[in-house]
Chains A and B, each alone.
Chain A
Amino acid sequence: MSAPSIEVSGLGKRYVIEHEARPDRLSDQLHHTARKFWRRLRWGTGFAREEFWALRDVSFAVQPGEVVGIVGRNGAGKSTLLKVLSRITEPTIGRVRLRGRVASLLEVGTGFHPELSGRENVYLNGAILGMSRREIRRKFDEIVAFAEVERFLDTPVKRYSSGMYVRLAFAVAAHLEPEILIVDEVLAVGDLAFQRKCLGKMQSVSSQEGRTVLFVSHNLASIRQLCSRAVLLSSGAVQLIGPTPRVIEAYQLGLADEPSASVPKPNADQVDRAFTTAVSVETLQGEPRSVLPLGEPWRVRVRFRIVSPQKAFVAAVGVKAIDGIAVQTAWAPPRDLAPGDYEAVFTQDRVAIETGTYLLRVGLSSEGRTFQQFEAARIEIVSEGARGYFPMTAGVGAVLNSMGTSVERIA
């Protein structure tokens, strides 16, 4: 076997968080400001320093032609890892060896300028991603055809629809010819058909052209579809490396462990009226979960406190796909409520929604005016342990098989 394309050993990245003491006398304040100024001039940091390791002793290797996924919760260090590998930021300790030309795609359309035309932006973006002018010229027609924007090539991209913009941006990136491609969550944008096209393109890039791809996504379905192996990061350290299904399973088990929902502190207005005290997502057996098998019913409990009498009070929950599209809303009918503690229960037992990541929103309103609304939890619907027949054809956010159906012989 040849040498690995990406070799990461003992990698660590430290950030220093500044906590500034609050001096209370003016003279102290001046002294403080002067010292702070001097330190910043030397690019040192403020006073109380707290070290924070975004990555700790990360080691792994990726073989040429392999597609490896990186999963982990928010703040696990995925983006920091990609930033180090893309040379945007330096490691604090450890070493990375990259064999081959690297292109990184941490964002779609980096450097696109709204005033420039589509044609001009293809050249600009291509150069930013590391293509030469000759290379861009050679692939120009292919890029434009892939993006399906032929008619608008000479229009400034500020007049593009967001879909066109993303398609053009991705098309440029998809035509890079690096030996190592580092991709962050860029597929979360664009419409479904185009996402498919991109996944297909990435797959052919690795399988036919032998490129190495490192891929971060919250979309477990695309990780599963693309990657043979995956790395699970947790609090900056590697928790598990292995075949994708095993890593995803471990990731989901980990998700199930964490408290499933969070509730913000009420503000002044809410303290006087009513506010949410607790939210939980659970199975019908009452076990708290944030990872739920497809088709399996689940339940949301919202506890709230009424402080002053509320007229036509409504507690509601909404389910949004991770890309922001609202999928479901449910509410209890308006009621006049006297002060006290209440619980609203919402049961998902009438329809199933497609596998994917969803955000659960909770809202309280009275007389049609919403006064508290927040994101309470992230829910993962997964195909492992799915109950019933699901041919898996719809996209994230689809409500599955929710129409009355019948099949009868008519002739």
Chain B
Amino acid sequence: MTDSASPATETVLEAGRSETHYWKDLWRYRELLGFLAWRDVKVRYKQAALGAAWALFQPLITMAIFTFVFGRLAKMPSGGVPYPLLVLAGLLPWQLFSTALGGASNSVVGNSHLISKVYFPRLVIPIASLGVAAIDFAIVLALFLAMSFWFAYPPGWQFLVLPFYIALALLLALGAGLWLTSLTVRFRDFRFIVPFMLQVGVFVSPVGFRTDYYPNWRALLGLNPLTGVIDGFRWCLLDGNQNIDPLNLGYSIAFAAVLMASGLWYFRRTERQFADVI
């Protein structure tokens, strides 16, 4: 960043000119991005007696409930997969998405003290907020792997494709997060809307059941861009025992691309006023 060997840099500040070095600046501030993400992770479980174990409890309990409700009471088909694994494989992308989205949409307002006192490309903040979601995800993924060996149902070669679906979930979360975090600067209303959206979201996403046994409903379920991601996770993690609907997947990818591009556009358009409005 401030490498002492670097030649004198010239910065020109003018109305509407902040864009010129934006992406270069973003790259220069990559260490700050790392530090902010590290700070959030470090602080998250400070002074909690059980610490990071909390990252495990929530999915474990949700998994138990969903297994009971969908697997036992509703007796939904599992296709030969141990039901807890089926649920956890759906819960993984859902939690990744919801933690990332919740964190990103609060990130700018939560860091208003930085925004009003120091310059750096504001995009660093929502991106850094993904760190917490990534760490929580890694913990639960490790739990999943341990469980899959316990149930003697380990993932196959499809596991190698998982990074693609992780990226897709993060893009969806970040795209929506960019919209929401900019809007929250102006309308604190979104602080109430986002948790509610996430609460509803878990029920309209196929977290507790598999979609491929309901061909009639698949198109409707597919309207939710997370359906494609969740199906993909199951395919990667359950040894390919889940067929993927190419239409749903294509829709998810297109949705993520549009959301990310428009989110970036809106964030960039409004970030110049963050310090004045926040």
A: residues with CB less than 8 A from B are 15, 40, 43, 83-104, 106-107, 110-111, 113, 115-116, 120, 123-124, 127-133, 135, 176-179
Contact = CB atoms under 8 A, between A and B. Distances in A.
A132 B187 CA distance: 35
A184 to B, nearest CB: 9
A130 B2 contact: yes
Contacts of A100: 8-9
Residue in A91, A102, A103, A128 with the greatest tally of chain B CB atoms within 10 Å: A128
B113 A111 contact: yes
Interface residues of B, number: 41
Nearest to A102: B11
Interface of B: 1-4, 6, 8-16, 18, 31-32, 34-36, 39, 42-43, 46-47, 113-120, 186-187, 269-270, 272-273, 275-276
A175 to B, nearest CB: 11
A97 B12 contact: yes
Contacts of B39: 113, 116, 120, 124
Given A43-B270, A177-B2, A123 B13 contact: no
A268 B79 CA distance: 76
A131 B1 contact: yes
Contacts of B114: 110-111, 128
B43 to A, nearest CB: 5
Contacts of A178: 2
B117 A110 contact: yes
A158 to B, nearest CB: 10
A124 B11 CA distance: 25
Contact of B14 (A95, A99, A111, A128): A95
Given A88-B116, A91-B15, A101 B9 contact: yes
A88 B18 CA distance: 10
21 contacts: A88-B275, A89-B272, A89-B276, A91-B14, A92-B15, A95-B13, A98-B12, A102-B11, A106-B118, A110-B114, A111-B114, A115-B46, A116-B42, A123-B35, A124-B36, A127-B36, A128-B35, A128-B114, A128-B118, A132-B2, A177-B4
Contacts of B119: 86-88, 104
Given A93-B15, A127-B32, A15 B118 contact: no
B42 A98 contact: no
A87 B3 contact: no
A131 B32 CA distance: 9
Contact of A99 (B8, B47, B273, B275): B8
A57 B186 CA distance: 29
B272 A90 contact: yes
A110 B113 contact: yes
Contacts of B16: 90
Given A88-B275, A97-B11, A123-B35, A115 B117 contact: no
Given A115-B43, A133-B31, A107 B2 contact: no
A103 B272 CA distance: 19
Contacts of A86: 118-119
A237 B50 CA distance: 57
Contacts of B8: 99-100, 179
A135 B2 contact: yes
Contacts of A88: 115-119, 275
A115 B40 CA distance: 11
A110 B31 contact: no
Contacts of A131: 1-2
A132 B1 contact: yes
Given A92-B15, A95-B14, A99-B10, A15 B1 contact: no
A116 B43 contact: yes
Contacts of A129: 118
B118 A43 contact: no
A13 to B, nearest CB: 9
Contacts of A102: 11
Nearest to B187: A40
Contacts of B3: 132
B31 A127 contact: yes
B112 to A, nearest CB: 12
Given A100-B8, A176-B2, 10 more contacts: A87-B18, A91-B13, A93-B15, A96-B14, A97-B13, A101-B9, A110-B114, A115-B46, A131-B1, A135-B1
